[in-house]
Amino acid sequence: MGGEEVDTAAEADPAWLALHAEREAVERALTLAQARQKFSADPAAASAARCEEAELLVSLDRVLTLIRAAEYRRRPGARRW
Protein backbone atom coordinates (compact mmCIF):
# COMPACT_ATOMS: atom_id res chain seq x y z
CA MET A 1 0.00 0.00 0.00
CA GLY A 2 2.09 2.97 -1.25
CA GLY A 3 -0.44 5.74 -0.65
CA GLU A 4 0.37 9.09 0.82
CA GLU A 5 -0.01 9.34 4.59
CA VAL A 6 -2.46 11.89 5.93
CA ASP A 7 -1.20 13.96 8.82
CA THR A 8 -4.34 14.54 10.90
CA ALA A 9 -2.46 16.74 13.39
CA ALA A 10 -1.52 19.13 10.59
CA GLU A 11 -5.07 19.12 9.28
CA ALA A 12 -6.34 20.10 12.73
CA ASP A 13 -3.75 22.88 13.15
CA PRO A 14 -5.48 26.25 12.57
CA ALA A 15 -2.24 27.91 11.43
CA TRP A 16 -1.69 25.15 8.84
CA LEU A 17 -5.26 25.47 7.58
CA ALA A 18 -4.92 29.27 7.43
CA LEU A 19 -1.79 29.02 5.27
CA HIS A 20 -3.54 26.72 2.82
CA ALA A 21 -6.63 28.93 2.77
CA GLU A 22 -4.42 31.94 2.01
CA ARG A 23 -2.66 29.98 -0.76
CA GLU A 24 -5.99 29.07 -2.29
CA ALA A 25 -7.22 32.68 -2.16
CA VAL A 26 -4.03 33.99 -3.76
CA GLU A 27 -4.16 31.35 -6.50
CA ARG A 28 -7.80 32.24 -7.22
CA ALA A 29 -7.00 35.97 -7.39
CA LEU A 30 -4.02 35.21 -9.64
CA THR A 31 -6.23 33.27 -12.04
CA LEU A 32 -8.70 36.17 -12.19
CA ALA A 33 -5.91 38.71 -12.80
CA GLN A 34 -4.57 36.58 -15.65
CA ALA A 35 -8.05 36.31 -17.16
CA ARG A 36 -8.51 40.09 -16.96
CA GLN A 37 -5.22 40.55 -18.82
CA LYS A 38 -6.22 38.11 -21.52
CA PHE A 39 -9.81 39.17 -22.08
CA SER A 40 -9.93 42.88 -21.18
CA ALA A 41 -10.77 45.24 -24.02
CA ASP A 42 -9.44 48.16 -21.95
CA PRO A 43 -5.63 48.49 -22.15
CA ALA A 44 -5.53 50.31 -18.79
CA ALA A 45 -7.42 47.46 -17.09
CA ALA A 46 -5.10 44.89 -18.66
CA SER A 47 -2.08 46.87 -17.46
CA ALA A 48 -3.50 47.09 -13.94
CA ALA A 49 -4.10 43.33 -14.02
CA ARG A 50 -0.44 42.78 -14.99
CA CYS A 51 0.67 44.82 -11.97
CA GLU A 52 -1.74 42.90 -9.75
CA GLU A 53 -0.40 39.62 -11.13
CA ALA A 54 3.17 40.60 -10.22
CA GLU A 55 2.11 41.44 -6.65
CA LEU A 56 0.14 38.21 -6.34
CA LEU A 57 3.09 36.14 -7.54
CA VAL A 58 5.21 37.64 -4.75
CA SER A 59 2.45 36.81 -2.25
CA LEU A 60 2.15 33.27 -3.58
CA ASP A 61 5.89 32.75 -3.26
CA ARG A 62 5.76 33.98 0.35
CA VAL A 63 2.87 31.69 1.27
CA LEU A 64 4.42 28.65 -0.40
CA THR A 65 7.69 29.32 1.43
CA LEU A 66 5.81 29.44 4.74
CA ILE A 67 4.03 26.18 3.89
CA ARG A 68 7.31 24.46 3.02
CA ALA A 69 8.84 25.69 6.29
CA ALA A 70 5.84 24.40 8.25
CA GLU A 71 6.08 21.04 6.51
CA TYR A 72 9.78 20.80 7.37
CA ARG A 73 9.16 21.67 11.05
CA ARG A 74 6.63 18.82 11.29
CA ARG A 75 9.19 16.22 10.21
CA PRO A 76 10.71 14.11 12.97
CA GLY A 77 14.20 15.29 13.89
CA ALA A 78 13.81 18.61 12.06
CA ARG A 79 16.43 21.17 13.07
CA ARG A 80 15.36 24.37 14.76
CA TRP A 81 17.19 27.50 13.77
pLDDT tens-digit profile of 10-40?
A: 566 888 899 999 999 999 999 999 999 999 9
* Whole-structure pTM value: 0.77
How many residues are listed for the chain in this entry? Answer: 81
For residue 62, the model assigns a pLDDT of 98
